[in-house]
Amino acid sequence: MPELPEVETLRRSLLPLVKNKVCQGVKFFRKDLRFPIPQKSLIKGLTNNTVQDITRQGKYLLFRVSDGSMLMHLGMSGRVTLQSTIEPQEKHTHAIFTFPGKTYFHFVDPRRFGSISWVPISGKHPLIDNLGYDPFSEKMNAKNIKILARKSRTSIKSFIMNAQKITGVGNIYACESLFHARIRPHKQSGKITLAQWEKWIYCLREVLNKSIAKGGTTLKDFFDPIGSKGYFSVSLSVYGKEGKPCPKCSNPIIRLVQSGRSTFFCKICQPA
């Protein structure tokens, strides 16, 4: 699943290609993805209108025009590719957006867990109304997160992956940030100290920024608009490395399952 750095990489790749440019047309090839596609609203809102900006809320992208925004989520396997034709080039192409200079953006999603929606000018939409703190928001600080978690008995890993608490932190970056912050992934979030929250927020931003700088994590389903893969997986410390030596202490990386997801950590380097 594309995570926050992949989505941010896509945003930065698309921005110079569409910002301040007119969307000349939109073509859909199915009525729904994970949710029904409001085709009439999208076609009316985008066609012959200028894309003023592309912003991100968690893992959602908002293509902002004068009357609202197109809201896009990549889901499990969604990606956007840059093509020179309006004709679908892949089997699972579900939407094509036309821009000047024979520029066509194809939304491809084999598993169809992605979504394309319309957000009115009010900015309100059920998919984003209840999102938690963004990792790069000024409001996401140790004091606020500690208050949010003060009565929580859930594990810190489950807590930081809850999009209604903190948005955009997926499994890979949860494991990596907790490792660098030296926090055990199954420790109760309500017992995390202020200093530990400060350390974790710092480590999370470091990991995310490094990944964004390198184009995102290399996952088989993720490509930027020109088809290039991200390269951050070569730098992962613990994720997917069960039994391999810890890069800090050489003890084997341990894998456990939390809420149906694999968790990777080092019991020596993550003592608390």
Residues belonging to the active site: 2-3, 59, 261
Structure tokens at 117: 């929606």
Mapped onto helix, strand or coil, the DSSP state of residue 29 is coil
- Do β-strands 93-99 and 25-28 pair in parallel, antiparallel, or remain unpaired? antiparallel
- The residues near 129 (Cβ < 8 Å, ≥ 6 apart) are none
Instruction: Write down the H helix ranges in the chain.
Output: 4-18, 39-46, 142-149, 156-160, 171-181, 194-213
Neighbours of 132 (CB within 10 A): 20
Give 203-236 as a 3 state SS string. HHHHHHHHHHHCCCCCCCCCCCCCCCCCCHHHHC
Structure tokens at 91: 């089997």
Nearest to 7 by CA among 69, 54, 70: 54
> What is the spatial distance between Cα 202 and Cα 258, in angstroms, rounded to a whole number?
24
Burial tier of 206 (Cβ tally within 10 Å: 0-12, 13-18, 19+): middle
